[in-house]
Structure 1
Amino acid sequence: MTRHRTSGAPPSPSTAGTFARTYARVVAGRRTKWAVLVLWVLLIGVGGSLAAKLGDVQNNEAETWLPTNAQATRAVKIAEDYFQDKGRVGAVVVYAREDGLTDVDLAKVNADRQRFVANSLAAADVPPVTVAADRKAAFLSVPVKSDQSDNSVLGDGVKRLRDAAGQDAPAGLDVKIAGQAGNIADFIDVYSGMDGALMAATLGLVAVFLLFTYRSPILWLIPLLSVGLASQVASAVVYLLAKHAGLTVNGQSAYVLVVLVLGVGTDYALLLIARYREELHRQEDRHEAMEYALRRCLPAITASAATVGIATICLVFGSMNSTRGLGPVVALGVVIVYFAMTTLLPAFLVVLGRWVFWPFTPRYSADHVDSSAEKEHGFWARVSGFVGRRPRPIWIGATLVLVALAFGAMSLSTGQTQAEQFTKKVDSVAGQDLIARHFPAGSSAPADVYVKDGGATAALAVVQQVPGITSASTIATKNGWTRIEAVLKDAPDTQAARSTVEHLRTALASNQGEAKSAVVGGQTAVALDTSDAQSEEEKLLIPLILAVVLIMLIILLRALTAPLVLLLSVVLSYTAAVGSAALLFHAVGHPRIDRGLLLFGFLFLVALGVDYTIFLMTRAREEVGKRGHRDGVLTSLTVTGGVITSAGLVLAATFSVLAAIPTVASLQQGLLVAVGILLDTFIVRSLLIPALALELGPRFWRPGHPERAKADRSIVSPAEPARLG
């Protein structure tokens, strides 16, 4: 005989800790809910104005994106400290004519050199023109003013340079802006105006999915508004810490902050609202319904937030400065969205009442039966029944599918070149093609060797003898340091050029005297050191994040077997996502990736995907304590299936929007995360994990015994299936 919890009867104290009870009671209290809302109104009032200033404290200087102790980073520092290179980025203005440059063309080039300096388009003197041996092309190296806190300075500078170079150009003369400044300006141009468009598209997609999920013209606004306000407060807190506590924020961390807050906030909102709606069928008083719903959701949401927060904090152990700065920023965002979704959202819902669910308003009835509640879980009841009938073939089949997809990762290749960074042809890429066609490919971005004056002569002799270097010369001596420019035979973003830089460093290090301590920098050195640092980060951070996930699952589930099984599923899901994405990259014509995609794809997929595992297994442990292992696992799949699937679809849609940005990195990141989330949602969480739990039986929870827990059996209601499968 099943007992029911009567209206107004408080749940048994054994079902939740004192903290959870007090927390939920304050948030959902008849009077205290107003205090919660007033607190958030104050936070939002202050945060709204400060959030807009986050861009003012971003530090996008070169050092913030480079490996902490790499030679390339030291070279940037030397250039800024001793050669006054700070605030300047090199552009290369390329002039080409396929049938050969005319005297009029060369006169135009030399006139441009004088014009660039006279009109302050160049931030320093412009070296003499370099003409190709075939006399079909020439280029000018032009330093352009930049401001790392304001990208528009560089973007506008390159635009003015392009306009000036194109002015009065003889017919048939091709003029392009290449070099580092040209490349950065193309990225600025590509992303210009995209922030608002992407945010609008993302919010639009989320709104559509929430509208479809809730089938209410009103309810979808509540979680969307709550997440948006949480994002504003998070940005404000990060701004204050960056302004007054030295927290490093760059463009990447600011962007990731918004995406993660939106993702995890929506997940938490979907979970809480789904549980609240369940309780409204059983409770006449909405305050008590929310109190119980929040108490039951709090362990899962807390575990999720703690896992994501601690996992991202692990990034401070990374090699890249950009990685190290990302961890604290994202962790702060997760903490703030956690409190928003467990205070602001529930208080908001309680204040508004049941009518926000209209037209499918959950109604309380004396016998606690509501046909709409049963109908909501109808599809997932059938899915759980299917899993319950054939768990072994299902988990074996799901595993084989994921393993097969993982083999696609073997087709993945790193070392993305500049020409492969955009999904459309841009000026800097076209300019680099012209340089590679008529000059030694490395002419536009030579390696820079910095050495103390005492070792300059020896260092120059060594550099000139290194294979892969076409020429080397001393170009500046300042403040006791000499700068040697080494032109590479190969394009600066190729593996061959990176090998040349490695040989150059080895040759210098094997020398005697001050030449031994020479530092090699430049575009190729940056790419080499970045790739090496990213490889080291993967080896350290991926196991560290997995260890965090394992520990949190052990604490949450009070078991060892289940967390180990779940951890293996996380690894399998990630490798299958990488393999699937690799096949898609080939299909869309962009097979090569930047190495950093692997770590950040892992971070997104684990940090966001683990939410679904936690939501499922927390509910499973609760239901096992009431119904026994088999029925508990299947019931948890039934009642969480809809909310987790909705969360997965929302998140996948959110990241798919990135494909609209015409950069390969954005396209690949969007595809990787979207595919990974969908695999985790529809295969891992819906089939693999429940089937494995049934296969292992009660051993799944060892050494714990949730079936022996002192469960409050009075909360079982016919609205939840008693037996499935």
Structure 2
Amino acid sequence: MSSNPRRALWLVPLALLVVWLGIGGTLGPYAGKLGEVATNDQAAFLPRSAESTAVLEARRPFERSESVPAIVVWEAPEGTRITADQTGAATRAVAALEGRPGIAETPSPARPSEDGRALQAVVPLKPDLGEELPAVLDSVRSAAATVPGATAYIAGPAATQADLSDAFAGIDGLLLGVALGAVLLILLLVYRSVLLPLVIIVAAVFALALACAIVYALADRGTVRVDGQVQGILSILVIGAATDYALLLTARFREELAIHGDRMRAATAAVRRSAGAITASAATVALGLLALLASDLTNNRALGPVGAIGIICAVLTTLTFLPAVLALLGRTAYWPAKPKAAAEEGGRGVWHRIAALIDRAPRKVWASTAVLLLAMAAFAPTLSAKGVPLDEIFVGDAPSVSAQKALGRHFPGGSGQPAVIIADAGRVEQVQAAARATDGVAAAAAVTATGRPGEGDPLVRDGRVRIDATLEAAADSDAAKATVERLRTQVHAVPGADAIVGGYTAQQYDTQQTAARDRNVIVPIVLGIILLILVVLLRALVVPVLLVATVALNFLATLGVAALVFDLLGFSGTDASVPLYGFVFLVALGVDYNIFLMSRVREETLTHGVRQGVLRGLTTTGGVITSAGVVLAATFAALMVIPLAFLVQIAFIVAFGVLLDTLVVRSLLVPALVVDLGARSWWPGRLARAEQ
């Protein structure tokens, strides 16, 4: 009879295994289907309260149909000029496109540049073409190529959107394959085991499948928005977090298995002893991501709940599927290696030497590492986050970038992407005059019934008119953004005009301003959340403050190094959201490792005193936390396979910052500070009265 309850215990891991196999088998395809509900329409991710966002709605009555412009540019060979025959051929070529699939309305006639060396025409395409967009652009490109003696390019929003879709095309397969391959290789090296790395990978894949299924359902109902960037970050975040948590749990299981010998007891003890640190770590990341809901940028707000869902799914697999498999496999999971207690491995090797160094001279250790981090952080202010020009959005060349350069060589920089002014119809002349008088505006004219500026009487809709202002500077330049700022001042000053200014440049300017506001709001929220969780977990005040300060210093040091590296790589700056994303990921994930360390230090301090508690905690957790940091750095580095500057920059900041945090902050700075402060570091908790 006594064996019946024990047999019943084995039903729990078996049931959990069956449930997760069902989840993986049923929901696995959603990891590849998330792209079906993703949108790469950048207009959908503008600041909610910005002036340029209001213009998007106000301009709709002036558009004969919803459209996305493709700007066709023909360039004559060096030393020659466009002929009248070429102009006629270009006009006929685009006119013949009317009525074809994907073409929204009549293309504009080709018009020559002032230098006589190029032509330009606008072909309006239907919005939301999705996978059909490349084929439609190919038909436009084929028509444009019929003009003899000129090189044809396609620029504008439609071309940029097609290149973005092409860049994200590999996000389901290539990114996932690279990330999982990197994790598997690292795990094989760490464990020197064949089976356990595969179990951890399966757990991460199950977590990703569940997360993608939930996000798919929410995005399909319009509850959340997903773009390629959010999709890519979700995959990397879930794989990295699930692997990190798995490393902590399996390390604890190895210890308990070496002590108890019984695999069921070891699995139960491992969950009990590591669940607090894992859930606290996950809470810092999930709540840090949810702080993005305070952002005024829609894609930031989208990443918040999507990322939090991914983290929750990673915790679920770690605390249910993984211990169930470990309980069933026992020592077999580590084959051909033999599991040993961490204490057996901690008495020798690199972590014993590091602990001995800290024990001998804690003040010298933390002072020298702090000086190093401060020196790196000194370069942080040199990182420009004013946005990137169009020719830096993609890593390497892209067709739309080459086309935009050709357009800029012969037409005003803002051609094809004018500043859009919506104003009261009774003040159209005054608003036009104010716009033309603005420094940096090349031309300004009201849109007419033909759909083009300046060709007839202004088109009036609901008592409002639309005025297109062509800027002299390139639409993505700092000079153009400064012109938009001056333009708004000028037209806002026209009495009774109630004028608002939008368009591509205004959207970039508003996004930049909103991102700066978001950083000022969200950074304190994230730091407050993390501090609160640490206070509750560690039951002290001084140590949590120290941990938050050290991860913030690590972030600034990482930004300083990133500024130097990005400059060497030729980046003029970063997207306005990069520092905020880097902060949320790096600070929240950086605290993870300090939670893993300090929760173990607290456990050891209760038995062995403050000094020995720190040294034993560092020695015991050193290998597993370093492995976790390397895994997370490798998974985020996988984002570099997507040829977009935004993701490459995020990948570098998080990967380098995690390694710096794991190898320097958590290994040297934090333990040396706590040893030097002694029991005072645990004030006002009961450990503040513990013996050294």
- TM-score normalised according to structure 2 size: 0.93
| Residue aligned with 1:275, SS | helix
Deviation at 1:51, TM superposition (A): 4.7
Amino acid at match of 1:460: Q
Deviation at 1:662, TM superposition (A): 2.9
Deviation at 1:230, TM superposition (A): 0.8
Please say if 1:558 is aligned against 2:539. yes
Q: Counterparts of 2:152 and 2:620 in 1: how far apart (Å)? A: 63
Please say if 1:598 is aligned against 2:579. yes
User: CA, structure 1 residues 377+110, in 2 after alignment: closer, same or farther (shift >3 Å)?
Assistant: farther
Q: Counterparts of 1:56 and 1:101 in 2: how far apart (Å)? A: 44
2:465 is matched with 482
2:403 is matched with 431
Give CA-to-partner distance per residue, 1:516-563, whole Å, 9 cap, x none.
x22211110110000000000000001110111111110110000001
**Preserved contact between residue 67 and residue 530 of structure 1 (Cα < 8 Å):** yes
Amino acid at match of 1:389: R
Please say if 1:305 is aligned against 2:282. yes
2:569 is matched with 588
User: CA, structure 1 residues 483+278, in 2 after alignment: closer, same or farther (shift >3 Å)?
Assistant: same
Please say if 1:407 is aligned against 2:378. yes
Deviation at 1:461, TM superposition (A): 2.8
Please say if 1:246 is aligned against 2:218. no
From 369, 378, 383, give the equivalent of 2:354. Answer: 383
Give CA-to-partner distance per residue, 1:48-84, whole Å, 9 cap, x none.
3555443333355545310011111111222346535
Please say if 1:89 is aligned against 2:68. yes
**Preserved contact between residue 547 and residue 591 of structure 2 (Cα < 8 Å):** no
Please say if 1:567 is aligned against 2:560. no
**Preserved contact between residue 121 and residue 161 of structure 1 (Cα < 8 Å):** no
Q: Counterparts of 1:279 and 1:307 in 2: how far apart (Å)? A: 27
1:73 is matched with 53
1:633 is matched with 614
**Preserved contact between residue 414 and residue 593 of structure 1 (Cα < 8 Å):** yes
For 1:226-625, list aligned pairs within 5 A.
226-244=203-221, 246-362=223-339, 373-374=344-345, 378-415=349-386, 416-476=388-448, 477=459, 479-480=461-462, 481-513=464-496, 515=497, 517-625=498-606
Amino acid at match of 2:122: S
From 9, 13, 16, give the equivalent of 1:36. Answer: 16
Q: How well do the aligned residues superpose, as a CA RMSD in angstroms?
A: 2.4
**Preserved contact between residue 75 and residue 152 of structure 2 (Cα < 8 Å):** yes
Amino acid at match of 1:116: L
For 1:18-167, list aligned pairs within 5 A.
29-80=9-60, 83=63, 86=66, 88-97=67-76, 98=78, 99-120=80-101, 122-147=103-128, 151-166=130-145
Q: Counterparts of 1:438 and 1:340 in 2: how far apart (Å)? A: 58
| Residue aligned with 1:95, SS | strand
Q: Counterparts of 1:640 and 1:444 in 2: how far apart (Å)? A: 58
Deviation at 1:488, TM superposition (A): 0.6
User: CA, structure 1 residues 686+208, in 2 after alignment: closer, same or farther (shift >3 Å)?
Assistant: same
Amino acid at match of 2:133: L
User: CA, structure 1 residues 194+252, in 2 after alignment: closer, same or farther (shift >3 Å)?
Assistant: closer
Q: Counterparts of 2:363 and 2:332 in 1: how far apart (Å)? A: 44
Deviation at 1:706, TM superposition (A): 3.0
Deviation at 1:247, TM superposition (A): 3.2
Q: Counterparts of 1:244 and 1:431 in 2: how far apart (Å)? A: 37
1:693 is matched with 674
**Preserved contact between residue 65 and residue 105 of structure 2 (Cα < 8 Å):** no
Deviation at 1:186, TM superposition (A): 2.0
User: CA, structure 1 residues 521+606, in 2 after alignment: closer, same or farther (shift >3 Å)?
Assistant: same
| Residue aligned with 2:81, SS | coil
**Preserved contact between residue 281 and residue 373 of structure 1 (Cα < 8 Å):** no
Once structures 1 and 2 are overlaid, which stretch shifts more, 410-419 or 127-136?
A: 410-419
| Residue aligned with 2:419, SS | strand
Amino acid at match of 1:54: L
Gaps of 5+ in 1: 1-24, 364-369, 712-722
2:453 is matched with none
| Residue aligned with 1:383, SS | helix
Q: Counterparts of 1:46 and 1:430 in 2: how far apart (Å)? A: 44
2:148 is matched with 170
Q: Counterparts of 1:35 and 1:556 in 2: how far apart (Å)? A: 31
Q: Counterparts of 1:218 and 1:164 in 2: how far apart (Å)? A: 57
Deviation at 1:182, TM superposition (A): 1.6
Gaps of 5+ in 2: 449-458
**Preserved contact between residue 121 and residue 157 of structure 1 (Cα < 8 Å):** yes
User: CA, structure 1 residues 51+671, in 2 after alignment: closer, same or farther (shift >3 Å)?
Assistant: closer
- TM-score normalised according to structure 1 size: 0.89
**Preserved contact between residue 412 and residue 591 of structure 1 (Cα < 8 Å):** no
2:452 is matched with none
Q: Counterparts of 1:32 and 1:316 in 2: how far apart (Å)? A: 38
User: CA, structure 1 residues 587+244, in 2 after alignment: closer, same or farther (shift >3 Å)?
Assistant: closer
Once structures 1 and 2 are overlaid, which stretch shifts more, 254-263 or 670-679?
A: 254-263
Identical pairs, percent: 39
Deviation at 1:326, TM superposition (A): 1.8
Deviation at 1:613, TM superposition (A): 0.8
Amino acid at match of 1:547: G
Amino acid at match of 1:96: E
Deviation at 1:196, TM superposition (A): 1.2
Give CA-to-partner distance per residue, 1:308-346, whole Å, 9 cap, x none.
111111111111111122211111221121111111111
Deviation at 1:194, TM superposition (A): 4.7
Give CA-to-partner distance per residue, 1:384-437, whole Å, 9 cap, x none.
112211111110010011011111223322331112222322222222222222
User: CA, structure 1 residues 431+249, in 2 after alignment: closer, same or farther (shift >3 Å)?
Assistant: closer
Q: Counterparts of 2:229 and 2:411 in 1: how far apart (Å)? A: 35
| Residue aligned with 1:470, SS | strand
**Preserved contact between residue 222 and residue 345 of structure 1 (Cα < 8 Å):** yes
User: CA, structure 1 residues 618+355, in 2 after alignment: closer, same or farther (shift >3 Å)?
Assistant: same
Q: Counterparts of 2:528 and 2:294 in 1: how far apart (Å)? A: 14
User: CA, structure 1 residues 324+132, in 2 after alignment: closer, same or farther (shift >3 Å)?
Assistant: same
| Residue aligned with 2:226, SS | coil
**Preserved contact between residue 377 and residue 638 of structure 1 (Cα < 8 Å):** no
Q: Counterparts of 2:240 and 2:170 in 1: how far apart (Å)? A: 22
